[in-house]
Structure 1
Amino acid sequence: MKVSRLLLDALETFPNFVIIDKNAKIVYLNDSYANLLGISQEHAIGQPVVDIIPGTRMAEILKTGKPEIGHLMTLYDHTKQQDITIACNRMPIYRDGQLIGAAAVTIMQDVVHTVSQLNTELSAVRKENEYYKHELNMLRNQFDSLNRIVGHSTALTEIKQTISDYTASNLPILITGETGVGKELFARAIHELSPRKLNPYVKINCAAIPAELLESELFGYEAGAFSGASKTGKPGKFELANQGTLLLDEIGEMPLTLQSKLLRVLQEQEIERVGGVKTIQINVRIICCTNQNLQQLIREKKFRSDLYYRINTVELKIPPLRDRKEDIPELTEHFIQKYNNEHDTHVVGANTDVLQLFQTYQWPGNVRELEHIVERLCTINQNQIITPKSCGFLIDQISNTQQFLGNKIADSEPLLAKSEPAHTATSVPASEMSWNDLAQKIQTTEREAIIQALLQTNGNKAKAARLLNIDRSSLYYKLKKYNITK
């Protein structure tokens, strides 16, 4: 059986390649196989294959005439001086329908090592897959805007449902609430859940721009419209938000002259640039935010009633944090995770005494204030759980402002007023106080305040909750917690 030089060179590229004739004698054995067997190629040629390759089944191929694919066999590797398991293919060779020999080639060298390596690589792929699945879930949550609004209180759940009900519409929405409740977060959620989510989301703070510049910021201006104007003109926020959503933050600060022009834009869906003479058609959904009482501004002739009713088609009243304190633990955990990621800290969480302390505070700065306090606590407690020992500044703040449980109870005492002389806030610095004693005093004072409120309202829980400036669900929780049965 003669083989051309080119073919022989090609066969040398295969791992462990061997050819036998119909008498099961080796016709060709490539160099890699000879090295593995610890013999020379010349020695192998003409020898029975079973004498050269221990355990081979090539003679069986001559008997059956059928190929064997992926068969495992163990050989002693003289190059590594150890047994290895290889996987090989054995194929019969036919000419004119007659079986004239067989060939075999290794398809996997050292199966055990290869499988182990594959398992290692597979584990790495699985780990990477889990990472990307986690990242995908994070991205899904990121784009699921309602999930970014943290909390499951009744009030918040109702607001989320209202958002879901109206996101598909083009109705103007008015978002009201105190400073720091997160009104802009709700506005963005409305846009991202609406059919306009792929179009621009533009926002402007009406209180942050001088009145004389606000008009050009909103409606744009033509070239040379006023001194210092761009030579090419400039589009306003309405044009930039075309086909999308425009957030008018602090709408209560808008001058009356602009309120009139805004009303016309909402009715006609067209604008004119400052210094321009032609109208520009727009398609913009308006969301307005304010922390002011617009109805009071109407009575004071500071806000147009017709504009109020035009932007107030749907109103979202975002409750202050003090009215949804059941959301505080979830918000705290959310902010801890946020600042762990941002500052590379590893804060485990906040213990129950800290969460109880948070429940006693009225949070005049709302969610924003809670976020800033958690960020400060994460900085102090980089690799541990947050405890009351780190909260001296907040305890002093509660005591100094007398906002513990609200200040609507006339005779309500400051946080530490009933402490023993050795532990009073005036005689001992916060850093030297017994934190366990403090937590107990907080709970004692809270229990006494609830009992006092119930006595003043003759046991009327709804009135007592209003007197304490907390919602009824929080009051029922505390009644059960302190075993108050009145």
Structure 2
Amino acid sequence: MRKDLYCLFPTDTLARAISLFRRSKIDTLPVVDEKERLCGVFTRSALYDALLCGASLEEKIAPYIIKNPVTVPADLPYAELTQMVRESTVGTAPVLDRENRVVGILTKQDMVLAALRQADLLNAQLKATLDAMHNGLIAVDSKERITLINAGAERIFRIKAADCLGRPLSSVFPGLDLKSVLHQKSPRVGFKYLFGSTVTVVNAAPINHGSSQGAVAVFQDITELEQIAQELESVRELNETLNTVLNIIYDGLVVVDREGRITLTNRPFRELVQRQNEDLLGRHITEILPTSRLHIVARTGVPEISDIQNIGGRPFIVTRLPIVKDGTVVGAVGKITFPKLEEIQELARRLSSLRSQVAYYQEQSTRPGTARYTFECIITRNTKMLALLEEAKRIAPTLSTVLIRGESGTGKELLAHAIHMASPRSNGPFVKINCAAIPEGLLESELFGYAPGAFTGAHKNGKPGRFEMAHGGTIFLDEIGDMPLALQAKLLRVLQDREFERIGGTKTIRVDVRIIAATNRNLEEMVSRGAFREDLYWRLNVITFKIPPLRERPEDIEPLVAAFIEKYNRILKTDVKGISPQALDILRRHTWPGNVRELENAIERAANFAWEGYIEPHHLPPHLLGIAQGSAHPSSTEKLPASSSPYREKLAGAEREIIKAALAAAGGNKAKAARLLNISRSRLYEKMKKLNIPY
């Protein structure tokens, strides 16, 4: 059935009916009441009759409604529906749920097309099934002409189907007699047939389908059976050897499948857990060893080497390795070593040392003053973004000040990193400071540092500021639009002369630094109302890049999703293969007010819930599913009860007053107000715009 409904109301005019007929391209439209229950149908014939009778386009459709139309229950079984369509003379019928509400439209044309698609699918499935058979198969008609040869028969007899179809059976398979099967219409089972040097066993059966007659023969190569028997004997001998080896080694071994259920154990393991083999096979590993992580290794494919695990109150060294077959993890094997206490202590010392090294390298990789991203890290297919990146690459080697503009979450900091890494200063420091995140009273000391004893609580040796730390490199002033006016004048001097004094100091410090600034604010509007210095604006606005929001570059969603899936597979140790078309369609329809940052958060959340396989719609954040459902039914908002509007107005009014109170408490500082409300600053701006609160 069609779910894209176009419904009429009894009060609608002929003009609206004509409009919906043009949109729907069907001959019958359901007529519903205010609760979406069916009142009748309005047909093109009724429309023509009304117009021929001289009715105006503004006349109501009510007099021309067919009151008791043919309808179809939504839960009608397919067999009954088929019979109903065959017997009915009606070409279109509404589909109703149990409350008599219209949920779709069924047309004979759609059902015929669906049946044809199903027939094509079944035909393709049958062909794929026949070609996937290991056995050979041929079919003949009533005159013993070959009508079908599968891939198995081509392989067994070394023939090509295209050369044989339509030829008499005897000319291709001499000596193969199917006359008794055709004439007596009874199967013939288990007879031998020799084709050259190939010996086969044949099962043949008649085909009776109405007026169509014929026969089908299935061939099994006996030579392959003998080879399989020999292989099975080899496998049996190999298993006996393997069991002998497993039981004489000193270490305990246990094998689990992908679900974590035990499939193999050796004697030392059974002695350790004091269980018989029949008591272990098929049991989940955690039922035998509650602290085991073997089932996790079987799921993630990540090996765990020389871990320490307590079993029965005793420490053991355990190694867990995944079993990979054709690139897919199918299980895991665990090895339990019975060490001496001295070996365990040495292993613990080594583990502690490794942890210290990891902590050190993590600290080094996350310390301030280093850039991590290059232009190759910026993922885009959008022509505007590609052009922007080319321009950024051209200006990267210069020393000019750069202003990056764009909404929150678009990747302004990523572009700043890339410009620094492509410049001659790439070996110098990259120092970032968020002008909105640092309290106003501390921002000046963070930027310019302070002299010894500059204020109470100051370090006795003083402290260098971010500009000094960035000497020889780049300083990134994020959220420059939130810098207090008092600091803007001092920043202007640094931009002009590349010199400043520390707080409480008298010595002029000169720095060689490139300045990159970023903001999501409207600086021109701030300049016009005196919230941002005009001279500073012109000093910053030397080279400007405006990053388009994600909603303006939907072609970037798919490659970004793929990159984030790869990233969180590494971080979370998940095995997400990709995203389903349905989930990707939901992402494409979202407007992304939080831009790329919001998309990354959505994929991180989905990876946590999916864990492996493909991300489906139910793995996505609920608010995205709500948006998708709303977009799938655009008329649903028109059907809300009228009483819901006052409640929404009251809710919006309450939210408006809360935000105003937070802004008043913060003295108009948006960043501080956002912290009071426990929301991001970009989210605060969105709400202020939605509720018409002045910036």
Give the TM-score, by structure 2 length: 0.38
Are 1:256 and 2:473 an aligned pair?
Answer: no
For 1:278, give the aligned amino acid: K
For 1:203-222, list aligned pairs within 5 A.
203-222=432-451
Distance change in 2, residues 1:288/1:418 (3 Å): same
User: What is residue 347 of structure 1 aligned with on the other side?
Assistant: 576
Are 1:193 and 2:422 an aligned pair?
Answer: yes
User: What is residue 633 of structure 2 aligned with on the other side?
Assistant: 416
How many Å separate the matches in 1 of 2:573 and 2:453? 51
DSSP 3-state at the match of 2:494: helix
User: What is residue 43 of structure 1 aligned with on the other side?
Assistant: none
Distance change in 2, residues 1:322/1:237 (3 Å): same
2:609 pairs with 370, 373, 380, which one?
A: 380
Are 1:327 and 2:556 an aligned pair?
Answer: yes
Structure with greater Cα Rg: 1
For 1:416, give the aligned amino acid: H
For 1:328, give the aligned amino acid: I
How many Å separate the matches in 1 of 2:409 and 2:624? 21
Are 1:356 and 2:585 an aligned pair?
Answer: yes
Cα-to-partner distance string for 1:378-398 (whole Å, 9 max, x where unaligned):
111111111223337144442
User: What is residue 308 of structure 1 aligned with on the other side?
Assistant: 537
Alpha-carbon shift at residue 211 of structure 1 (Å) = 1.3
How many Å separate the matches in 2 of 1:258 and 1:361? 39
For 2:606, give the aligned amino acid: L
User: What is residue 290 of structure 1 aligned with on the other side?
Assistant: 519
Are 1:147 and 2:390 an aligned pair?
Answer: no
Cα-to-partner distance string for 1:284-336 (whole Å, 9 max, x where unaligned):
00000101000011011010111111111101101100000100000000000
For 1:275, give the aligned amino acid: G
Alpha-carbon shift at residue 375 of structure 1 (Å) = 0.7
Cα-to-partner distance string for 1:215-256 (whole Å, 9 max, x where unaligned):
111011000111111100000000000010000011011111
Q: Is the 8 A contact 1:204 1:249 kept in 2?
A: yes
1:229 pairs with 429, 453, 458, which one?
A: 458
DSSP 3-state at the match of 2:477: strand
For 2:375, give the aligned amino acid: L
Cα-to-partner distance string for 1:126-170 (whole Å, 9 max, x where unaligned):
xxxxxxxxxxxxxxxx97711101112111101110111100000
For 1:158, give the aligned amino acid: A
Q: Is the 8 A contact 1:177 1:183 kept in 2?
A: yes
Are 1:161 and 2:378 an aligned pair?
Answer: no
**Percent identity of the aligned residues?**
47
User: What is residue 88 of structure 1 aligned with on the other side?
Assistant: none
Q: Is the 8 A contact 1:346 1:384 kept in 2?
A: yes
DSSP 3-state at the match of 2:375: helix
1:269 pairs with 488, 498, 502, which one?
A: 498
Are 1:278 and 2:495 an aligned pair?
Answer: no
How many Å separate the matches in 2 of 1:249 and 1:218? 12
DSSP 3-state at the match of 2:502: coil
How many Å separate the matches in 2 of 1:284 and 1:327? 33
User: What is residue 471 of structure 2 aligned with on the other side?
Assistant: 242
Cα-to-partner distance string for 1:357-385 (whole Å, 9 max, x where unaligned):
11111000100000000011111111111
DSSP 3-state at the match of 2:599: helix
DSSP 3-state at the match of 1:203: strand
User: What is residue 371 of structure 1 aligned with on the other side?
Assistant: 600
For 2:531, give the aligned amino acid: K
1:318 pairs with 525, 547, 557, which one?
A: 547
Alpha-carbon shift at residue 416 of structure 1 (Å) = 3.0
Distance change in 2, residues 1:342/1:359 (3 Å): same
For 1:317, give the aligned amino acid: K
Alpha-carbon shift at residue 186 of structure 1 (Å) = 0.6
Q: Is the 8 A contact 1:416 1:425 kept in 2?
A: no
How many Å separate the matches in 1 of 2:594 and 2:568? 19
User: What is residue 57 of structure 1 aligned with on the other side?
Assistant: none
Distance change in 2, residues 1:389/1:310 (3 Å): same
Alpha-carbon shift at residue 340 of structure 1 (Å) = 0.3
User: What is residue 266 of structure 2 aligned with on the other side?
Assistant: none
Alpha-carbon shift at residue 350 of structure 1 (Å) = 0.6
For 1:373, give the aligned amino acid: A
How many Å separate the matches in 2 of 1:345 and 1:167? 37
Gaps of 5+ in 2: 1-370, 642-695
Cα-to-partner distance string for 1:7-49 (whole Å, 9 max, x where unaligned):
xxxxxxxxxxxxxxxxxxxxxxxxxxxxxxxxxxxxxxxxxxx
How many Å separate the matches in 2 of 1:339 and 1:181? 19
Q: Is the 8 A contact 2:602 2:621 kept in 1?
A: no
How many Å separate the matches in 1 of 2:581 and 2:625? 19
2:408 pairs with 157, 179, 189, which one?
A: 179
For 1:224, give the aligned amino acid: G
Distance change in 2, residues 1:144/1:392 (3 Å): closer
For 1:49-88, list aligned pairs within 5 A.
none
Q: Is the 8 A contact 2:617 2:625 kept in 1?
A: no
Distance change in 2, residues 1:399/1:348 (3 Å): closer
Q: Say how many residue pairs are matched.
A: 271
DSSP 3-state at the match of 2:515: strand
How many Å separate the matches in 1 of 2:624 and 2:524? 37
1:390 pairs with 597, 601, 619, which one?
A: 619
Distance change in 2, residues 1:327/1:425 (3 Å): farther
For 1:308, give the aligned amino acid: Y
DSSP 3-state at the match of 2:431: strand
Distance change in 2, residues 1:210/1:144 (3 Å): closer
DSSP 3-state at the match of 1:271: strand
User: What is residue 126 of structure 1 aligned with on the other side?
Assistant: none
Q: Is the 8 A contact 2:450 2:503 kept in 1?
A: yes
DSSP 3-state at the match of 1:347: strand
For 1:20-169, list aligned pairs within 5 A.
145-169=374-398
User: What is residue 567 of structure 2 aligned with on the other side?
Assistant: 338
Alpha-carbon shift at residue 208 of structure 1 (Å) = 1.0
For 2:393, give the aligned amino acid: S
For 1:163, give the aligned amino acid: A
How many Å separate the matches in 2 of 1:399 and 1:341? 29
User: What is residue 121 of structure 1 aligned with on the other side?
Assistant: none
DSSP 3-state at the match of 1:216: helix
How many Å separate the matches in 2 of 1:280 and 1:392? 51
For 2:536, give the aligned amino acid: L
How many Å separate the matches in 1 of 2:521 and 2:474? 22
How many Å separate the matches in 1 of 2:481 and 2:442? 17
User: What is residue 454 of structure 1 aligned with on the other side?
Assistant: none
Cα-to-partner distance string for 1:427-465 (whole Å, 9 max, x where unaligned):
xxxxxxxxxxxxxxxxxxxxxxxxxxxxxxxxxxxxxxx
Alpha-carbon shift at residue 418 of structure 1 (Å) = 4.7
RMSD across aligned positions (CA)? 2.3
Cα-to-partner distance string for 1:330-352 (whole Å, 9 max, x where unaligned):
00000000000100101010122
For 1:419-434, list aligned pairs within 5 A.
none
